[in-house]
Amino acid sequence: MGPPRRKNAFGSRRSGLVARIEVDLPSLAEATKLDITDLRPLAYDPITYRYQGPVLGSSRPPHVLRLRRPKVCPECLRQANYCRKQWDYLAVTACPIHHVMLLEDCPACRNPIAWLRKSVSTCRCGADWRDTQVAGLSESDTIVSTVLYQILAPLSRSKHNGETSNPLYNVDLSSFLGALFFVSIHQRIRTLFIHFLR
């Protein structure tokens, strides 16, 4: 098994921010020149498979998050250069504000986006994702992300073209994700069944 790896400033023994140990906030504060009280609400609590750590102010199971592979919206980064916690959700694949797919891989080097990089918007290869042009999506292609954004941090209703009567905007996160995963599992079973019949 080899010697244990040294912790980095983020508290992780790995190169990503996914860890089952606490973030070393004093080291992170020193590295970023920010106050610990400003960083604390931004950090995830340690997650175990039995513990539901708080995410955006409420308790959620860790399987709804995808922390090992960060995603970014070039348009959001262009407007304000910071990562949004909504991007960490497994089901959020598009930006409902700009109607574009979130980047998972750097368009320049084709490597997966990593947490440890030159800056928030810059890949290890030097590419600045704020300069990336991404194809637009239709509103129907971003509906899941739109609903998740609305549940997590309500967008103004004008972003939804006045769809205030949509009942999906009024469900809680657990109910929405449960229904989404239920539908996706049954769609997968249906696809396999159809393939089997051929």
> Looking at residue 68, what is its pLDDT?
80
Q: How far is residue 100's CA from residue 136's CA, in Å, rounded to a whole number?
A: 5
- Segments in the chain forming alpha helices (H): 25-32, 36-39, 74-79, 143-152, 173-197
Token digits of residue 188:
């997968």
pLDDT tens, 116-132? 888 899 999 999 999 99
Residue with tokens 């250069």: 81
pLDDT tens, 2-11? 444 444 434 3
pLDDT beneath 70, residues of the chain: 1-23, 44-63, 154-166, 168-169, 198
> Looking at residue 122, what is its pLDDT?
94
Q: How far is residue 156's CA from residue 162's CA, in Å, rounded to a whole number?
A: 9
Domain definitions of the chain by residue range: 1-43, 62-197
> Looking at residue 51, what is its pLDDT?
38
> Looking at residue 46, what is its pLDDT?
59
> Looking at residue 132, what is its pLDDT?
94
Burial code (b: 16+ CB inside 10 Å, e: under 16) for 92-117 equals bbbbbbbbbbbbeebeeeeeebebee
